[in-house]
Structure formats: C-alpha cells, structure tokens
Amino acid sequence: MQQTFTIGTFGIITNEQNHVLLCLRTDCNYWNLPGGGLEKWESPSQWVIREIKEETGLDAEVMKLHGIYSKLHKNEIVFSFECRIIGGEITLNKEARDIRYFPSHEIPENTFWNHIERIKDFFENQNEVILKTQIKRSVIK
C-alpha cells in the first residue's frame, strides 16, 4: 500500500521591530503564517513566495530554510522559510480578512498551535534548521 503525504510551505516574515506577520483566515477564526499546500512542478521555495503574494499582496524573497516539520497524524510535511518583504502592499483578499504583525510574545490565542510552535522555534533557534515532528497536544485546564 502506497502512502502519500501532503507538502506545505509557510513563510516567517518579520518587520523592523522583529514582529511576525500573521493572516486571519476567512474560512475560520484562526491566525496563521502565510503559506499553504504545494502544487506540482514548483519547489517549496517558489511556492511559498507565490502563497505570500496571494495571501498578503506582498512580494517576498526566501532568505533561508528555517525548518522541516512532519505532522504524522495528517501525513503532512511542512517547509518553514524565513522570508523578507521586497515590495507590494498588504491587501486583504478572499483568504485573509486581516493581516498584521505581532510581537512574538503577543501571538493571538486563536493562532493554529503548529504555527505558534514554528514561530517559537524561529525566535529561539534563528541560526539552526529545525527538524521536528509536530504532535498536537491536548490542552489541560
């Protein structure tokens, strides 16, 4: 039996104040890093640049690979890239109803857990490429 995986790419973009860019999705009330699923015939770095443009209106370039995350419970592998803005203007669209920069210590509670983990990894390990399996943990109250 052949097992298939979904490939995802997401960009971590910071501004001059070192705040991280997040998009509030239109299909749910959650913030996430700009990015998405990979299509055929594009490299992960090409795809993240296109996704950033589609979701934010911003032109970006990839600075470096930051992490490779596997989500085995979803048969998914995600590439996380550090990117920088080189042009364009923030534009709301059918995928993002709000787009904002947040300080790393003020990430909204309604941000996808796996994106919070990637943001934390980025700020704690800027000189390393992260290789990690992301496992959703239950919240204990």
**CA separation, residue 47 to residues 4, 9, 40, 53, 105 (Å):** 19, 7, 10, 10, 28
**What are the strands of the beta sheet with 20-25, ordered from one edge?**
31-32, 20-25, 96-102
Alpha carbons 84 and 61: distance in angstroms, whole number:
6
What would the mean pLDDT of 88-117 be, rounded to a whole number? 96
Residue 15: strand, helix, or coil: coil
Provide the pLDDT for residue 137.
61
pLDDT tens digits for 35-56?
Answer: 988 777 788 999 999 999 999 9
Give the strands of the sheet with 130-133, arranged side by side.
35-37, 6-13, 76-88, 58-71, 130-133
Region 77-90: mean pLDDT is: 97
* Structure confidence at residue 1 (pLDDT): 65
Q: Tell which wins on pLDDT, 72 or 61.
A: 61
pLDDT band at 75 (very low <50, low <70, confident <90, very high): confident
φ/ψ of 133, rounded to 5, equals: -95, 125
Q: Which domains does the chain have, with CATH numbers?
A: 6-133 (3.90.79.10)
pLDDT of residue 136: 73
